[in-house]
Amino acid sequence: MWEPQARALRDEFRLLRYDTRGHGLSAVPSGPCTQEQLAADILELMDAVEIRQAHFCGLSMGGQVGIWLGANAPHRFARMVLCDTAAHIGNPEIWNSRIATIRVGGMPAIVSGTIERWFTPAFIAQAPEVIAWVRQMILDTPPQGYIACCEAIRDTDLTEQASRVNAPTLVISATHDPATPPAQGRLLASVIGGARYRELDASHLSNIEAAPQFTTAVREFLSGAAVPAG
C-alpha cells in the first residue's frame, strides 16, 4: 500500500517496509494481538537490520503503533508521521460486528464495505485499476490475521500515551474519512506537543487517493521543511 510513496522517496531515504503480522507474507497469529506486540515487531525488525534510529510513518492501525512507539521508544525515532489515525478508533461494537462477519463469510464478506470506507465514491469511479488492486490485497489477507489486528485496534486507547510523544510529529487526516474523521486527527495533534496538522481531500487511505499531496507533505516534513496547513 506504500508503493506510491516508495517510488517517490527511495532516492532520498533508505526505506524499510514490512508486512504486519497476520498480513502479506508474515506469520498469522494464533489468537489476538496487541498494539504493544505490533510495535515490538518494528523494534525487533529495526534491530535485525541494524537501524538505530529512523523516521516513522504509519497509517490507521500503523498510526496507532506509531503513537505507542513515540511514547515508549522515543530514542529510536527522529520524526513521526501519523496518518488517518486516532488514539482510539471506533467502538467495540463496530469491531466485534466486523470480526463476526469475517468468521462467517471470510474476507469476501467485508471487501466491498472496506473499499467504500477507504476511498471516496469519486475515486472509486475514476481509478478502477487501483481499486481492483486494493480489493485483491484485502481478499488475500488471511482472515485470522485480519481478525487479530481488529482485536488489537478494538482494545487500544492511547489517549494518555499520545501526550508523551515528544518527537517532531506530523498528523495527516482526510476530509472524507469515516473511520478516523479529521476531528480525531486534530485532537491527536493537539495533545502531541508541537505537532503539525495537515488535512487532505480524500478518504481513509489518503496516501493512495491523494498520493502526490501526501507524499509532498511527508517529504517536506522529514526534510525539515515547513508543511502548509490545511
Residue 15 confidence (pLDDT): 96
Residue 59 confidence (pLDDT): 98
At 112-169, the pLDDT tens digits run 999 999 999 999 999 999 999 999 999 999 999 999 999 999 999 999 999 999 999 9
Q: Classify domain 29-222 at the CATH class level.
A: alpha beta
- Domain residue ranges in the chain: 29-222
pTM of the model: 0.94
- Would you tell me the crossing angle of helices 143-154 and 35-48 to the nearest 10 degrees? 110
Low-confidence stretches of the chain (pLDDT < 70) are 225-230
C-alpha cell at 15: 526505506
| Alpha-carbon gap, residue 62 to 205, rounded angstroms | 12
Residue 202 confidence (pLDDT): 98
Residue 158 confidence (pLDDT): 96
